[in-house]
Amino acid sequence: MDNKKTVRRRIVAFVLFIAALCFSLMEIHEVALTNSGYGVLDMTKYNADVFVKMMNASEDISIYWKYYIFDFIFTAAFLNYMLQMASGFKGIVINRIRIISYVIAVIRGILDMAENSIMLNQIYSFPAVNYGLINVCNTVTRLKFHFMRGWFVCLLLMIVPGRVHITENRPNAVKLVPF
């Protein structure tokens, strides 16, 4: 019974993540149409000069409000998905990696929310721009992606031991378990 509940939770997390991803991609496209193709800055490397160019090219800054507010929802859905993915792995060594992956996922989520908050603040302060704060936001963006990579490494480290088993009759032999 508990296993069915866990599977349902993971399926719901995955469906919510995919729905949020699809909506997010539509919002990114809509933002890009509004600002001459610059798109959103939280997906790329940027600086304050790029921010100013993007904002000057923007026809309607209210679109950013919609995008970044939804990005908070996407971040929560993605964090839930990351935690659900990692929770499915068991084992002595894997337990430590799983805990590390939880911490990495939560830090990544916090960084994403901090980034969204800074961007919203600067967008609605425009044309006044705090160059230092935009550059801090760029650093937060890059850190967010480093934490994302770290989570993927943890996921791979949990997948490999789950698929490799020592054979019982020959301790030096390794058997790969098919997916």
What pTM was estimated for this model as a whole?
A: 0.77
Query: Is 57 or 21 the better-scoring residue by pLDDT?
Result: 57
Judge if the upstream peptide bond of residue 127 is cis by omega within 30 degrees of 0: yes
Short-list 75, 78, 150, 68, CA closest to 117: 68
End-to-end CA distance of the chain: 23
Percent share of the chain, pLDDT over 70 = 85
175 — pLDDT class (breaks 50, 70, 90): very low
CA distance 46 to 134: 9
CA distance 98 to 5: 20
Angle between the 2-34 and 62-87 helix axes, to the nearest 10 degrees? 150
**Residue 156: pLDDT over 50:** yes
Which residues form the domain of 117?
2-176
**Residue 126: pLDDT over 80:** yes
Chain-wide mean pLDDT for the chain?
81
Number of domains making up the chain: 1
169 — pLDDT class (breaks 50, 70, 90): low
- At residue 142, the pLDDT reads 94
**Residue 145: pLDDT over 60:** yes
CA distance 77 to 75: 5
